[in-house]
Amino acid sequence: MSDQLREPPHNDELECALLGALLYAPATYDRISDLTDPNHFYTPAHVLIYTAISELMNQNRDATPLMVAEHLGGKLESVGGKRYLFELSTAIISVREIRHYAESVRDLALRRAMIPLFHTAIEDAYAPLNGEINTTITSRIDSLESELFQLTHLQHEGELRPWASVIDEAMNEASVAAKRQGSVVGVPTGLSDLDAMLGGLQPSDLIILAGRPGMGKSALAVHIAEVAAINASKVAIFSLEMSGSQLAQRRMGARSGISADLIRRGETGDEAIGQVAQAGQELRALPIYVDDTAALPLAQIKSRSRRQARRTGVDLIIVDHLQRIAGSSQGRRYANRVSEVGETSRGLKDLAKAMNCPVIAVSQLSRNVEARDDKRPMLSDLRESGDIEQDADIVAFLYRDSYYLQKVEPRQKGSENDQRFSDRYMSWQADVAESENLLDLIVSKNRHGPTGSISCFFDVRLGRFADFQKT
């Protein structure tokens, strides 16, 4: 039998059982109101009857057969009249099973909702044969997965909880925060001052980590991933620039104290290899999932994130880096790169909201920074910024004074005597030594709280971050 001739999945007996229980005992409405929607019913008469029951109960009026008949007014005959309402209320099977009836009716409604989604997908799949290609196949798959993901999440019913339950949850969060030695209620970053400013990374937030090359953006993003995973968060990393192996070597280096460069070149002794192996064993147990596909389109990042969420759950997503994302989710052509990057940043913000987890996107800065005497970055320095600043909830810039100081090693001027040059050179060396392993995190935008600059320790050789110990 063709799909066009098949009746959509439904069960009149279940719908009658649910409506009959409600008409017989209207107080049971509160037990199923979080599960059931009028559109869950297949029979048009049942849609009208449930709508009337729902409206009466929300007005604090009993939804008895007589009250429902009166409320239906001119629509009464179209549902079968008073007689049908009384038949429903007197032919009940069990009021105790009302929640089971509601769950079953909703399940059938979700199945019906799936049918047009797949019909449309099938038509789109045949489109090339008819010369009707309006969207890319990756875009269509992403759209289908998104619609199915939304259907899945519609199943999660909500309800009012007792105050005691809410207090218990708040006390548990406070206990967890206390163990982390700070008021962290989101995903921790492992940097106390940053966690204190942000309260951790919050669900549905888009966080931009931006800086010029060599500042440590990727290292910080993966450091945060590791800290989050140690604290039981499940992390998805999209590494569009670096291979998964390179990523792992860097983290093994940071944990073992052996630089990733030595690990990569095999210049490690037996003792050092043992340390690296131990670091690898510790890291492999963490719930981190890596996709190192180069130039991945935004549609695929969304799709793969959703699939991972269904398999394991996802508490944090990291994209390294934003400018490496290929094309747009809609497959459109753009007049300029600014528009395309703006579309990408909006897509990442949408992903954070849809997944209800923080998304960290690493971003490059324009070369304009290098032309200024003061090279500390500003919001206007976001390369091809598009709407990045607008879409982001948090923008943090990475800045290392030592990076620029080491590039301007003093040279003796022709008119300068040896003593003066020596003094100037020693002053430069002192500045380099003072700024070594010091990184400034400049939080220029924080939708939820304060902004400002935070100093932290950053071992460039090992890619290791820690709190800055003031002396």
Q: Quick one: pLDDT at residue 332?
A: 47
**Cβ atoms of residues 443 and 451 within 8 Å:** yes
272-276, 289-293, 380-384, 466-470: which range is least confident on average? Answer: 380-384
In the chain, the percentage of residues whose pLDDT exceeds 70 is 83
The answer as to whether 85 is a domain residue is yes
Task: Place 445 in a pLDDT band, splitting at 50, 70 and 90.
Answer: very high
Name the burial class of residue 333, with classes exposed (0-12), middle (13-18) and buried (19+) by CB atoms within 10 angstroms of its CB: exposed
- From 43, 76, 101, the end of a domain falls on 101
Tracing tokens 């943090």 back to the chain, one arrives at: 396
Q: Quick one: pLDDT at residue 266?
A: 64
Taking the C-alpha atoms of residue 216 and residue 457, their distance in angstroms, rounded to an integer, is 11
Q: Quick one: pLDDT at residue 398?
A: 93
One domain for residues 192 and 78 = no
- For residues 69-80, average pLDDT: 91
Does the pLDDT at position 156 exceed 60?
no
- From 101, 133, 151, the end of a domain falls on 101
Helix (H, G, I), strand (E, B) or coil at 101: helix
62-76, 285-299, 378-392: which range is least confident on average? Answer: 378-392
Domain at 221, CATH number? 3.40.50.300
What CA–CA distances, in Å, run from 293 to 242, 290, 332? 9, 9, 21
Does the pLDDT at position 162 exceed 70?
no
Give buried/exposed letters for 232-266 (b at 16+ CB in 10 A, else e).
Answer: ebbbbbbbbebeeeebbbbbbbbbbebbbebbeee
The answer as to whether 108 is a domain residue is no
Residue 460 DSSP one-character state: T
One domain for residues 326 and 214 = yes
- For residues 207-234, average pLDDT: 91
One domain for residues 95 and 213 = no
The answer as to whether 137 is a domain residue is no
What CA–CA distances, in Å, run from 444 to 48, 394, 450? 54, 8, 9
71-85, 93-107, 264-278: which range is least confident on average? Answer: 264-278
List the domain range (segments joined by +) for residue 64: 3-101
One domain for residues 219 and 346 = yes
Domain at 23, CATH number? 1.10.860.10
If one compares 429 and 450, the residue with the highest pLDDT of the two is 450
One domain for residues 390 and 271 = yes
Does the pLDDT at position 339 exceed 80?
no
80-84, 187-191, 430-434: which range is least confident on average? Answer: 430-434
Number of domains in the chain: 2
Task: Place 345 in a pLDDT band, splitting at 50, 70 and 90.
Answer: confident
Does the pLDDT at position 225 exceed 80?
yes
* Mean residue pLDDT across the chain: 81
Does the pLDDT at position 399 exceed 70?
yes
Q: Are β-strands 394-399 and 206-211 bridged in parallel, bridged antiparallel, or unpaired?
A: parallel
One domain for residues 327 and 201 = yes
Taking the C-alpha atoms of residue 81 and residue 79, their distance in angstroms, rounded to an integer, is 6
One domain for residues 205 and 330 = yes
Helix (H, G, I), strand (E, B) or coil at 21: helix
- From 101, 134, 168, the end of a domain falls on 101
Helix (H, G, I), strand (E, B) or coil at 259: coil
One domain for residues 229 and 355 = yes
The answer as to whether 80 is a domain residue is yes
One domain for residues 221 and 357 = yes
Angle between helices 270-284 and 244-256 (to 10 degrees): 110
The answer as to whether 124 is a domain residue is no
The answer as to whether 420 is a domain residue is no
One domain for residues 244 and 358 = yes
One domain for residues 189 and 51 = no
Helix (H, G, I), strand (E, B) or coil at 210: strand
The answer as to whether 412 is a domain residue is no
Residues 242-268: tens digit of each pLDDT: 888 888 888 888 887 777 767 666 666
The encoded tokens of residue 368 equal: 């304009």
**Cβ atoms of residues 113 and 152 within 8 Å:** no
One domain for residues 94 and 196 = no
The answer as to whether 413 is a domain residue is no
The encoded tokens of residue 300 equal: 């695929």
9-18, 340-349, 442-451: which range is least confident on average? Answer: 340-349
Among 26-35, 163-172, 189-198, 428-437, the range with the most confident prediction by mean pLDDT is 189-198
86-95, 182-191, 222-231: which range is least confident on average? Answer: 182-191
- For residues 79-102, average pLDDT: 87
